[in-house]
Structure 1
Amino acid sequence: MLMLAGAAAQAQTAVVIGGALRFDNDKVWQRIVDEAGGPQARLVVFGTAAANPTRAASQIVEALNRRGARAEAVPISPQLPADKLAAALRDPVLLAKVSQARGVFFSGGAQEYITGTLQPKGQPTPMLEAIWSVYRRGGVVAGTSAGAAIMSRVMFRDAQDVMDVLNGQLRPGLEIDQGLGFVGPDLFIDQHFLKRGRIGRMLPLMVAQGYRIGLGVEENSAAVIKADQAEIIGARGALYVDLRQASSDATLGAFNLQNARLSYLERGDRIDLKTGAVTAAEAKRSSSPIDPSASDFKPYFKDEPFYPDILGDNTIAHAMAQLLDSPAQELRGLAARLGPSGEVRSQPGFEFRLYKGPDTRGWFTGAFGGEDYTVVNVHLDVTPVRVASPLYTRVTAPTPASAPSPRP
């Protein structure tokens, strides 16, 4: 059985924000305050990850207090002189302030600043223990961007190049590192997910680290996680990755994966992280589900596109929706680097094959002002491929036929 929360209070809540959280996103900010107890809820803010921690923390404090909280910043930052930082991490006044709070918020920035400060060399400081005490007794831990990355037991430390990760670059202390583990040992978290095509880096890490389930949260959106339940709120959504029935072929010598299952969740959707069961938002449940295997299925899309950059901005979510609501049984996309014409690259590219299974389902609504899909159980194979060089050539004008010579 998956253990997605500690043995402590079941009410403990992790609010995992995918980054780029707008200050006018009332759904997310208000939810953090409400989960911490509502009006006058005491929250503490760590700007530890930020380049300017004082400014970042003060902006977050203001945003929370505008929604009724009593939030204040905790001045813990690796920018402090070493002796002052060591003292702050053990300061009884600061520790009491954190311990008495109902919620903790971590800013964005560099996630290694958070873990390196609160958990140097993997050893928890008194300040981290105080944060855990808030969470264990049913409090809230929220984080955006870097503050979301720390939520799993393993995190991406600095892996901006998705293609490098697909090609095996996952070095401890460089691309990956130890996280703080608030969501438990079995769930992997990633952020800025759809915007930056990070499905390409999540899959190799999950396989390498033994994760079977993962949740990639989009920008300006959040997953509210309680025990084994998650609700998506905010502007967009999140991608749930299930590798429990997936396999790979070690003889290929490059990353590959067969039969991963993907579910795309929009705002208002809920998922049981243990079973993968999805409950669509109320606005979607009011209409009939989209069932491609039903005898009366009437697909909306007619074409079967190929996606030349499957790791593009929101492309994986668009491809899943396109597949769900079309007559196609599968769609394909490519993740590759294209070198100069005539160059043969040593690193392979990767074909992403999305295909329907008997469990593929979904919902649609226009109630949010767009075309919003929830897509459940699209299957995925990732196969290493050699990309032709050049991949394409220009069309040139045909050479005019020579005019016949006039007769003498």
Structure 2
Amino acid sequence: MDSGKLLIIGGKEEKCKTGDILNAFVELSKEREGAIGILPTASSIPDEVSAAYVDVFKKLGVGEVEVISVDSREKADDPVILNTVSGLAALFITGGDQKRLSDCIRNTKLHAQLTDMWKSGLLIGGTSAGASIMGEDMIIYSEMKNNDEERLLIEMGKGFGFEKNLLIDQHFSQRARFGRLIGAIAENNELVGIGIDENTAILVKGDQFEVIGEHQVFVIDGKNGSLVDFIRSENGGEELTITDFKLHALTKGYCFNLTSRKIMKRKEA
């Protein structure tokens, strides 16, 4: 059986009946029997976040919604939780802190179960932190130091690894994250950088994805590029010189092949 689809969302998706992204998630979930699960582990207010998604999914016609409450590694190994997850048609991972999400679930029984279920066809969606977690590697924090030095500090971490070769960043244009993603790819050029704007998503199936939603998706391909120079000034600032990186920008309906690393023809509605 083919692996399931991944709906990877840049954050702040419309939570209403007319929102393209959550409507697409609900329609795709119908390909498999069972409830839609909501995993709010990344959030500092999981009950509030879960309630909002339960409400919107119910308004979109979903009959059964299960909240998967996991706030520790012990719960991620709980047989009751695992049994609930085993009956899902789809799982939606909310936003929040991707490091918290990884710390609670990565390399637990729940992580292994989700990986196996996705490989057997489970639909998994994620927004904001729930988007970043989809890759094997992820950016968990960045900070620009602006006092005596100008230095972008990027902290990397490990995600769930559904897509091994993608490094996903979210809220991309809205939070001006181009610099941090290209910096991360410069030091990890075997990865494909995917920057997803708010209320925008990619639907990944196999080796390609389609863009859904309002704004843009950016692809940074450093496969044939190189980090030429790395300068650290006397005051601690850092600047990169890079060459031969490719940048692609896609809007709604366009597809991208992750093997050939080329834009594909716009998908007609």
> Which residue among 42, 45, 48 is the counterpart of 1:52?
45
> Which residue among 114, 138, 141 is the counterpart of 2:121?
138
Question: What is the match of residue 126 of structure 1?
Answer: 109
Distance in 2 (alpha carbons) for counterparts of 1:274 and 1:162: 37
Counting only pairs closer than 5 Å after superposition, residues 235-250 of structure 1 correspond to structure 2 as 235-250=214-229
> Which residue among 189, 198, 201 is the counterpart of 1:222?
201
TM-score computed with the length of structure 2 as normaliser: 0.87
Structure with more strand by fraction: 2
Question: What is the match of residue 9 of structure 2?
Answer: 17
Question: What is the match of residue 236 of structure 2?
Answer: none
Which secondary structure state, in structure 1, belongs to the residue aligned with residue 201 of structure 2?
strand
Deviation at 1:155, TM superposition (A): 0.9
Distance in 1 (alpha carbons) for counterparts of 2:3 and 2:153: 38
Distance in 1 (alpha carbons) for counterparts of 2:61 and 2:30: 10
Counting only pairs closer than 5 Å after superposition, residues 273-352 of structure 1 correspond to structure 2 as 273-281=258-266
Question: What is the match of residue 235 of structure 2?
Answer: none
> Which residue among 71, 74, 86 is the counterpart of 2:68?
74
Distance in 1 (alpha carbons) for counterparts of 2:145 and 2:250: 22
Question: What is the match of residue 141 of structure 2?
Answer: 158
Question: What is the match of residue 245 of structure 2?
Answer: 260
Higher relative contact order (CA 8 A, sep 6+): 2
Cα contact 1:108–1:144 (8 A) shared by 2: yes
Cα contact 2:226–2:242 (8 A) shared by 1: yes
Cα contact 1:111–1:149 (8 A) shared by 2: yes
Cα contact 1:163–1:201 (8 A) shared by 2: no
Q: Does 1:30 align with 2:23?
A: yes
Q: Point out the structure with max Rg over C-alpha.
A: 1
Distance in 2 (alpha carbons) for counterparts of 1:161 and 1:41: 45
- Alpha carbons of 1:142 and 1:162: their partners in 2 closer, same or farther (altered >3 Å)? farther
Cα contact 1:148–1:191 (8 A) shared by 2: yes
Distance in 2 (alpha carbons) for counterparts of 1:227 and 1:196: 29
Q: Once the two structures are superposed, what CA deviation does each residue of 1:299-333 show, in whole Å capped at 9, x if it has no partner? A: xxxxxxxxxxxxxxxxxxxxxxxxxxxxxxxxxxx
Q: Once the two structures are superposed, what CA deviation does each residue of 1:170-202 show, in whole Å capped at 9, x if it has no partner? A: 3xxxx221111111x212111111111211001
Distance in 2 (alpha carbons) for counterparts of 1:216 and 1:267: 14
Deviation at 1:251, TM superposition (A): 6.4
Distance in 2 (alpha carbons) for counterparts of 1:101 and 1:37: 11
Deviation at 1:158, TM superposition (A): 1.7
Q: Once the two structures are superposed, what CA deviation does each residue of 1:25-71 show, in whole Å capped at 9, x if it has no partner? A: 52111211222225975221111111210111121122223223322
Q: Once the two structures are superposed, what CA deviation does each residue of 1:99-142 show, in whole Å capped at 9, x if it has no partner? A: 121211111111111101012xxxx1112222223211111111
State the percentage of identical aligned residues: 24
Which secondary structure state, in structure 2, belongs to the residue aligned with residue 161 of structure 1?
strand
Q: Does 1:178 align with 2:171?
A: no
- Alpha carbons of 1:160 and 1:40: their partners in 2 closer, same or farther (altered >3 Å)? farther
- The residue identity in structure 2 corresponding to 1:127 is L
- Alpha carbons of 1:178 and 1:251: their partners in 2 closer, same or farther (altered >3 Å)? closer
Cα contact 2:255–2:267 (8 A) shared by 1: no
Which secondary structure state, in structure 1, belongs to the residue aligned with residue 240 of structure 2?
coil
Cα RMSD for the two superposed structures: 2.4
Which secondary structure state, in structure 2, belongs to the residue aligned with residue 65 of structure 1?
helix
- Alpha carbons of 1:30 and 1:163: their partners in 2 closer, same or farther (altered >3 Å)? farther
Deviation at 1:244, TM superposition (A): 2.0
Deviation at 1:97, TM superposition (A): 1.0
Question: What is the match of residue 153 of structure 2?
Answer: 169
- The residue identity in structure 2 corresponding to 1:126 is K
Deviation at 1:218, TM superposition (A): 0.5
Deviation at 1:160, TM superposition (A): 4.5
> Which residue among 103, 107, 111 is the counterpart of 1:116?
103
Which secondary structure state, in structure 1, belongs to the residue aligned with residue 244 of structure 2?
strand
- The residue identity in structure 2 corresponding to 1:176 is M
Question: What is the match of residue 344 of structure 1?
Answer: none
Q: Does 1:197 align with 2:197?
A: no
Distance in 2 (alpha carbons) for counterparts of 1:41 and 1:237: 32
Distance in 2 (alpha carbons) for counterparts of 1:242 and 1:231: 17
Question: What is the match of residue 343 of structure 1?
Answer: none
Cα contact 1:100–1:134 (8 A) shared by 2: no
Deviation at 1:163, TM superposition (A): 8.2
Q: Does 1:269 align with 2:249?
A: no
Cα contact 1:151–1:182 (8 A) shared by 2: yes
Count of residue pairs brought into register by the alignment? 259
- Alpha carbons of 1:251 and 1:112: their partners in 2 closer, same or farther (altered >3 Å)? closer
